[in-house]
Every structure is written in structure tokens, then in C-alpha cells.
Amino acid sequence: METVKAWMSAPAIVARDTETLPRARELLIAAGIRRLPVVNAAGDLVGIVTEGDINRVSDSPERDDQAYNLYYRVHDLPLREVMRRPVITVTPDTPLHEAAHLLLAWRISGFPVVSEGRVVGVITASDMLRRIIWETGDAESEFLKARSASVD
């Protein structure tokens, strides 16, 4: 049976709960990811913050005075103040199909993979799609390329 371990992204990029929103945004952009598991000083998973969470909390200073003030209030806000908890997690040994069911049931696009209390990776819907593409082989990939070219 295929497990999460074979398809997760590892090692996980994590942020400390004391990091600020701008630093979290920098980490997301630099790594090309959309979610950051948040850990405490001991390295324990305490929450998760997504690109969407950061965008909702942050406000552009160009809108009006109220938005300008909000922007500077949240600029130094630590992640522990905006992270989501509890965090839905799986282990490296979780069957891949169970992880897929969890994604659908919770209506999320990915979650941390935890082993012995530590974040060891992240599994996303994109990782699961890679698995499907890998399994179906080149014939279907060529079909999809041809089909998308005909739509363009």
C-alpha cells in the first residue's frame, strides 16, 4: 500500500511561532509554497499559517487611514496570533488514499506530516496529483498535452 512518505515534500519548511507576518510571507515566496507549519521553541507543531491567512490579516497601507493603521499594527504580529489550530496532520505511514480522503473531508489542500511529534514533511493535493500522473504514465500525459494544445 502506498503511503504518504513516498510522495510528501521533505524536509518541511517551518516557521517559529514568534516569526512575524512579513517573515512568514518571505518564507512562502522564497520556497514557492502556500502553507507553513508553525512550531514552538521546542520544535513541537502548534499551528499552521497559509498564504491566504496572511493575505486576510495583512492590509495594504494605500487603502485609507484605517487600513494604514491596521497594516502597521499587524506588521509585527507574531504567527502565534494568526495561525490556525488545531492542525490536521498525518504520519509518514498513513496510506495515501486516507490522506486524500482527509483533504476532501476537511476541504483543505495540504497538511503537515508528523512523526514522533516533529514535522517531517508536508503532503498536498499537488503531491497526490503527481502520484496519479506518475501512475498513469506517458500515454495519458501525451493525451493531455495534445488536448490542452487544441484548446489553446
Chain segment 120-149, per-residue pLDDT in tens: 999 999 999 888 888 777 655 565 566 555
What does the alpha-carbon distance between residue 34 and residue 55 come to, in Å, rounded to a whole number? Answer: 11
With beta carbons less than 8 A apart as the criterion, state whether 119 and 35 touch. Answer: no
Predicted confidence at residue 152, as pLDDT, reads 47
Please tell me the predicted confidence (pLDDT) of residue 142: 61
What is the CATH number for 82?
Answer: 3.10.580.10
Distance between first and last Cα of the chain: 38
Tell me the per-residue pLDDT of 42-74, one tens digit each, with 9 for 90 and over: 999 999 999 988 887 765 455 555 655 566 566
Domain around 107 = 4-151
How many independent structural domains does the chain possess? 1
109 is written with which cell numbers? 489542500
Average pLDDT of the chain is 85
